[in-house]
Amino acid sequence: MVEARLSAAISEAIASLYSIDRESLQIQLQKTRREFEGDFTVVVFPYTRVSKKSPEITASEIGDYLCSHMPEVESFNVIKGFLNISLKSFYWITFLQENCSNISYGLKAPAGDSPVVVEFSSPNTNKPLHLGHIRNNLLGFSLSRILEASGNKVARVNLVNDRGIHICKSMLAWQKWGNGETPETSGTKGDHLVGKYYVIFDQHYKNEIAELVASGIEPEEAAKKAPLILEAQQMLRKWEAHDPETIRLWEMMNRWVYDGFDITYKTLGIDFDKIYYESRTYLLGKSLVNEGIEKGVFTKRSDGSVWIDLTPDGLDEKLLLRSDGTSVYMTQDMGTARQRYDEYNPSQLIYVVGNEQEYHFNVLKLVLKHLGCSWSDAIYHLSYGMVELPHGKMKSREGTVVDADDLMQEMFETAERMARELGKLESFDGDEAEKLYRIIGLGALKYFILKVDPKKNMLFNPEESVDFNGNTGPFIQYTYARIQSVMRKALELGINSDQHHDFSDYTAKIAPQEKEVLRFLHDFPSTISLAAEMHSPAVIANYAYELAGAYNRFYHDITILKEEDEAVRNFRLGLCNFAGNVISNAMWLLGIEVPERM
């Protein structure tokens, strides 16, 4: 792209003008801000120490050199220490000519032998997916596509938390109070049914704690001695001992949950290359614990528990195996990490997990490093903030979670209501209308979540997300549909695609509104690279919004189909087609579908 050539030319200019070694120069180009004239801007203040001149004179001298030595540069202007560079029209015309019909523009083909492994979703089999899981899934899936589009092989994996004390809580509650209820007999989705018994356990458990506290026992001690938690712990020990009855109950209830998860994932448009189960990886983690004991890295205490001392690393002592021999999260994550390394030899292991687990992943990397796993540095925790609603945080155990299935259904209904109010479904029959408001509803949900920097906490507002104006998914989807409407009308007028894909003889002046769209399109490949580098789908989301805004300014200010000059009309249609392709690709990176008409 021209940025690399321009950076090289600026380095050459400084080296030539001021007699210094160009190898020591680092040039940072920026896109010129909208309020100024120019395509690219370079800050020249750092170079005044070698020019021994004012920023304005230094910028002017560099600009004169570029105009003389780089064919693409047309002119420049200087504002204080900022050199704004304008490229000649032929560059932009050639750029449009070469790319306007390229449906894969900006997307690199995956290459290399070592993939990036992205773990996301990681649900527990004791409850359905909720709003927090939705953010996790959308971030992981979108990041996977962005990494692929930037040239990486990617493996999308899911680690299902299908064992542990929390699973036993749901199992025990169903055993005590379920009366044989099943998804079929109750008409309830399997993951919802199991989640119901997780809540029931918590309700009874709290009552037991309250009774013990009333008898004079301290709350912390009461939480440990409550009969229900002791029974759940015993059930976990029986599970790890492969007790047949416990295993049968566990398999039955997990099957209910998996069936429910599959429906949710399909509705959300999420899939995986491989699914791991903690019930199959925790034993590998235990073997690593034994390996660490043999190496003297871990310490086995008199009660049988195993620990690692990370105080020299600035942390504390960390439990790796309980005294009763049962594993903890760290145990199974050690095993899973080793398994992933053995299977994929990945260039990076990315874990998409909430920011409350930052300490956990710092410990995981250190534990593996102490074990001698050189690849531990490849572990990257994509830490994201929590999702809140106008009425507060979500709590799984109290049954106040915003269920993913319910939320998606609400989004479909909200999209339908708002679309009908705006008259956007009048020309659609029943099936078409239903498909459209599902596309709009999911697009609104995904975009609203992904446009926020992953590291930030966010407030999700369903009504605001479906607004057809502003920084929303439906606004960008509508822009794409508008472009497709223009292209259909062009065909109706007898203008075929070959006519608006050839601008080799184009000589008209490019309007500012056209230049703005072209500049955004030009930025798409570098935007993908930046999003991959930052591990942030928000970079793509906000780019798509800015491109849509630029296109709509062009659409409102510039004549397209009624333009009398055929060459100008075809140039603008080519620009429309190119913008539509890029908006579609950008939204695809976010996992969002764009409708052909709205």
| Percent residues over pLDDT 90 in the chain | 79
Report the pLDDT averaged over residues 195-214: 96
CATH code: domain 404-589 is 1.10.730.10
Report the pLDDT averaged over residues 366-386: 95
pLDDT of residue 391: 64
Write out the two tokens for 329.
Answer: 């999260």
Residue 393 pLDDT class (50, 70, 90 cuts): very low
C-alpha span between 27 and 49 (Å, rounded): 15
pLDDT of residue 523: 95
Q: Which CATH superfamily is domain 120-388 in?
A: HUPs (3.40.50.620)
Buried b / exposed e along 38-59 (16+ C-beta atoms within 10 A): bbbbbbbebbbebbebebbebb
Strand, helix or coil at 356? helix
Topology annotation, domain 2-87 = Gyrase A; domain 2 (3.30.1360)
pLDDT of residue 468: 85
pLDDT of residue 397: 43
Q: Judge whether residue 400 has pLDDT over 60.
A: no
Q: Judge whether residue 496 has pLDDT over 90.
A: no
pLDDT of residue 44: 94
**Integer distance in angstroms from the first to the last C-alpha of the chain?**
35
What pLDDT, in 10s, does the model give residues 263-280? 999 999 999 999 999 888
pLDDT of residue 170: 97
C-alpha span between 70 and 6 (Å, rounded): 8
What pLDDT, in 10s, does the model give residues 2-38? 999 999 999 999 999 998 887 778 888 999 998 899 9
CATH 1.10.730.10 range(s) for the chain read 404-589
Give whole-number Cα distances, 258 to 116, 127, 204, 329, 497, in Å.
Answer: 26, 11, 26, 21, 47
Report the pLDDT averaged over residues 438-444: 95
CATH 3.40.50.620 range(s) for the chain read 120-388
Q: Judge whether residue 348 has pLDDT over 70.
A: yes
Contact present, 531 and 539 (Cβ < 8 Å): yes
Q: Judge whether residue 143 has pLDDT over 60.
A: yes
Q: What is the pTM of this model?
A: 0.91
C-alpha span between 77 and 71 (Å, rounded): 17
Higher pLDDT, residue 225 or 460: 225
C-alpha span between 370 and 389 (Å, rounded): 41
Residue 394 pLDDT class (50, 70, 90 cuts): very low
Report the pLDDT averaged over residues 338-358: 95
Give whole-number Cα distances, 194 to 81, 233, 402, 444, in Å.
Answer: 64, 18, 16, 29
Write out the two tokens for 6.
Answer: 């321009």
CATH 3.30.1360.70 range(s) for the chain read 2-87
pLDDT of residue 233: 94
